[in-house]
Amino acid sequence: VIGHSKYQESKRIAIFLSMPDEIQTEEIIKDIFKQGKECFIPRYKPHSNHMDMLKLSSAEDISSLTLTSWNILQPSDDDSAREEALAGGGLDLIFMPGLGFDKKGNRLGRGKGYYDTYLERCMKHPSGKPYTIALAFREQICESVPVAENDVQVDEILYEDC
């Protein structure tokens, strides 16, 4: 990931904070800050499909986040001091989680459509749609995954042996 050309040329990067069953992103987050890039993480709104990407000030900033009912760390609802990526310069790159992927770039998420809805908002931003890379285990690559018309394909899927 760190050697990837899209990562190297990106300045504003959104990345998920890993759940135990996902590719671990902690070292990538540390490298984002080491390289002087800007790091944004998701904040999900429960009972909706709305998600924002909020700026982290450092890798250590993660320890100040609150744990949601889904066991995901994210900025609290009353944390209004953080920049939302689309309120500023947009994003260059988004690293995406998922449950399953196929080689055509289709992604099976957790069913709420947070990333698809967010990417639609990105497309309306002056900076346009960021490049998207899904981080997966080899076992998550399927022949095909079910898709709906509002599902947005990922640009690339990185997994072992790809």
162 pLDDT above the threshold of 60: no
Residue 108 assigned as binding residue: yes
Predicted local confidence at residue 24, as pLDDT: 94
Residue 43 assigned as binding residue: no
Residue 82 assigned as binding residue: no
Residue 112 assigned as binding residue: yes
- ∠ CA 129-143-130, nearest 5°, is 10
Q: Tell me which of 6 and 49 has the higher pLDDT.
A: 6
CATH number at residue 98: 3.40.50.10420
Report the alpha-carbon distance of residue 105 to residue 147 in Å, rounded.
11
Structural domain containing residue 46: 5-158
Report the alpha-carbon distance of residue 94 to residue 133 in Å, rounded.
6
Give pLDDT tens digits for 99-132. 999 989 999 988 788 999 999 999 999 999 999 9
Residue 107 assigned as binding residue: yes
Across 38-49, average pLDDT: 91
Give pLDDT tens digits for 45-93. 888 889 999 999 999 999 999 888 878 899 988 888 899 999 999 999 9
Indicate the number of domains in the chain. 1
93-96 and 131-135 beta bridge pairing: parallel
